[in-house]
Amino acid sequence: MFKGSFVALITPMREDGSFDEKAYTEFVEWQIAEGTNGIVPVGTTGESPTLSHDEHKRVVEIAVEVAKGRIPVIAGAGSNSTEEAIDLTRHAKQAGADAALIVTPYYNKPTQEGMFLHYTAIADAVDLPIIIYNIPGRSVVNMSVETMARLAKHKNIVGVKDSTGDLQRPIQQRLAMGADFCQLSGEDGLAVSHRAAGGHGCISVTANIAPRLCADMHAAWEQGRIADAIAIQDRLTPLHDALFSETSPGPVKYAASLLGKSANKCRLPLAPPSAATEARVRAAMTSVGLLN
């Protein structure tokens, strides 16, 4: 259903921290023109924790409006409150999103059974494809392959964004759920390795600033040009490393500001990147050819 290079969209903001709808609209249009295969608004990179519910919903609406069915929209709709996640997922469906990205509940530390009941409640409440977002580094909990296999039996639960960093997971998940269960990497640096393990694509932070290269890398893989895909991966690796040298999306917001796509602004408690990180990001962008 979903494959290739999906971008975990930043949410452009003005210097005062308000949502910049014009910059966001132009940014989504640029992503499509650059060959991005799909967009993911209001995930971690979109600063969903510090957006109001009204802002969250507006970001999704604009993404759908601009995409106009040209590429799929997977709307971030997760929460550590099941009721809130259902509300955001209902809105994603009403707005016209193609799927919802639902993160494993953070802070609450649910058991495997708690996660199973959480996702089942959402999938029962809203008839929309759901992508599980398994990111133990931020959520603390790690969904087991067994729990995911139970959930995959639900007609609305169609895939996973895997941010475990464990390359055995896509193999184990393919064996447990079958080749049609959509597996998207949540780790830019492992995108090619994840595809070699049976994955279908990547939900990328780096694609915010290098959308063409990220899309070309996945296209090369799908066309069997493995050496070309690896060459692009190698070219992008210093940029991946720079963009995650501090908590994301601070560095990628700074990178976007260098391209004139957004102000260098995240909402607190995310601090501005340090001078050392900014220098590293600028150097990486220059080496990749994104800056002169």
Catalytic residue numbers read: 133, 161
Amino acid at 239: L
Cα–Cα distance measured from residue 254 to residue 282, given in angstroms and rounded to the nearest whole number:
9
Element (H, E) at 133: strand 130-134
Chain centre distance of CA 218 = 15
Parallel, antiparallel, or unpaired: how do β-strands 74-76 and 99-103 relate?
A: parallel
Report the b/e string of 87-96 with b at 16+ CB within 10 A.
Answer: bbbbbbbebb
Cα–Cα distance measured from residue 266 to residue 247, given in angstroms and rounded to the nearest whole number:
11
Dihedral (CA of 32, 38, 39, 45) sign: negative
